[in-house]
């Protein structure tokens, strides 16, 4: 019994000593500011769900009176879902490629101590680069308790995928200790539009571009501008308007809205500039056409912009000699000669001595001397060739049967299905 009592007294003495030391040396903690992040977006229009019934139903005019008393409804049009109020963003929301990401950063001193030399740095880390978004790189001299440092950052999003906003804060305590901490905010950047392109190479040097643009977001878009910026060798003409006496009217109507998952097709015609049109070898190898510039607006006027990379086409294979039609009539009379004009271009890097042969088909008969000499054609040079022919069969007939022979290499180039012409009979009387 005496031994147990001695142990208890010893333990009580130790506890008393611990309590005395704890009270004599109070514990201090370092002050640490807090970082708060809020994305800056425009509000959305508030919508409600109107509930109505006929006057002879059991509720009578109860629903009508409740909707009139509702402050969110439009006076006089209570049955509309759209109200007069705006709704503040309830979450971070979606960020799409081409939009401007805006964020409000606040560093609060929630402690009871003064901190000095506060430096706030905001960096945006993408899959390919790290960008500094801080408006100022100067340190704040001091930050009093319950005070804050505010900053607003803006960045035009140009990459899709994961983005990480890194907020780094360095500061000095009253005791002279330098401290540093970081906070990470991760978000995803989505693709707003799906753009598909198709190229069509005409018989001439013209190139037609068809661009299919699909809205793959969940909200409507106002298409402010969809234009093609051509490369240095081409001039572009938009084929998306109908010309009237006063001005051009868009083929999509006055209100250019693109609903979710809807697709539009835009058409453009590119023509070589005059200084490049005669250089067949240069135009033949051009694959870079230009890039699309798309500007749209969503919700309450939030603007987005997207530029595609340089659009490239498959270079047409003309071979050593290219034959194209400069002039041909649409409709001709049966068994009556008509004129066409061909253009022969030397696409090779050597001079060619050409001989023209004209071979008749079952419907097309050439008029003139076959096997005549056309002379020498220099590299990238062209030769205009007027020809005369007639058709012995009615209907849509294909022009074929031209042969060009290079006397230097004894090589023959055949050209069939060059173009089509409609052959009609002028003597056929109409039945009354």
Contacts for 22 with CB less than 8 Å, ≥ 6 apart: none
For residue range 312-366, list pLDDT tens digits in order: 877 666 678 888 888 899 899 999 999 999 988 887 888 889 999 999 999 999 9
Task: Give CB contacts under 8 A, 24+ apart, made by 395-398.
Answer: 395/422, 395/423, 396/420, 396/421, 396/422, 396/423, 397/363, 397/364, 397/421, 397/422, 397/423, 398/364
Nearest C-alpha neighbor of 154 from the set 39, 35, 304: 39
DSSP assignment of 345-413: EE-SSS-EEEEEEE---SSEEEES-TTEEEEEE-TT-EEEEEEEEEESS-EEEEE--EEEEETTTTEEE
For residue range 65-100, list pLDDT tens digits in order: 777 777 777 776 666 667 777 777 777 778 899 999
Averaged pLDDT score across all residues of the chain: 81
End-to-end CA separation in angstroms for the chain: 139
For residue 195, what pLDDT is reported? 93
Contacts for 297 with CB less than 8 Å, ≥ 6 apart: 221, 222, 224, 303, 304
pLDDT above 90 for 418: no
């Amino acid at each position: 019994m005496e031994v147990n009592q001695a142990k208890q007294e010893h333990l009580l003495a130790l506890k008393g000593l611990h309590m005395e030391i704890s009270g004599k040396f109070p514990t201090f903690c370092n002050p640490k500011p807090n970082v708060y992040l809020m994305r800056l977006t425009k509000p959305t229009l508030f919508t409600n769900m109107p509930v109505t019934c006929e006057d002879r139903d059991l509720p009578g005019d109860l629903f009508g009176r409740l909707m009139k008393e509702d402050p969110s409804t439009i006076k006089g049009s209570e049955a509309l879902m759209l109200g007069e109020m705006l709704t503040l963003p309830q979450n971070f929301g979606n960020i799409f490629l081409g939009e401007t990401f805006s964020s409000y950063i606040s560093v609060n001193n929630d402690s009871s101590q003064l901190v000095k030399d506060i430096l706030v740095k905001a960096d945006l880390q993408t899959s390919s680069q790290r960008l500094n978004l801080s408006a100022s790189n100067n340190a704040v001299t001091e930050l009093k308790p319950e005070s804050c440092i505010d900053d607003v950052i803006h960045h035009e999003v140009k990459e899709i995928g994961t983005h990480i906003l890194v907020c780094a804060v360095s500061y000095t305590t009253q005791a002279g200790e330098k401290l540093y901490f970081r906070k990470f905010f991760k978000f995803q950047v989505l693709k707003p539009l799906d753009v598909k392109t198709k190229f069509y190479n005409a018989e001439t040097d013209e190139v037609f571009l068809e661009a299919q643009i699909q809205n793959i977001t969940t909200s409507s878009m106002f298409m402010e501008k969809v234009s093609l910026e051509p490369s240095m060798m081409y001039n572009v003409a938009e084929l998306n308007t109908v010309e009237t006496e006063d001005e051009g009217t868009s083929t999509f109507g006055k209100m250019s809205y693109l609903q979710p998952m809807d697709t539009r097709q835009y058409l453009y015609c590119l023509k070589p500039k005059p200084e490049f049109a005669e250089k067949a070898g240069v135009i033949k190898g051009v694959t870079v056409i230009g890039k699309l510039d798309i500007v749209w607006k969503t919700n309450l006027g939030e603007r987005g912009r997207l530029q595609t990379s340089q659009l490239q086409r498959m270079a047409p294979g003309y071979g050593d000699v290219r034959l194209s039609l400069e002039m041909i009539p649409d409709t001709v009379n049966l068994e009556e000669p008509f004129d066409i004009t061909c253009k022969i271009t030397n696409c090779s890097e050597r001079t060619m001595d050409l001989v023209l042969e004209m071979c008749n088909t079952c419907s097309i008969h050439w008029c003139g001397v076959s096997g005549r000499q056309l002379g020498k054609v220099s590299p990238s040079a062209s030769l205009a060739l007027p020809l005369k022919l007639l058709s012995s069969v009615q209907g849509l007939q294909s022009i074929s049967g031209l042969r060009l022979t290079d006397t230097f290499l004894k090589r023959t180039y055949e050209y069939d299905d060059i173009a089509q012409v409609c052959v009609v009979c002028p003597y056929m009387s109409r039945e009354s």
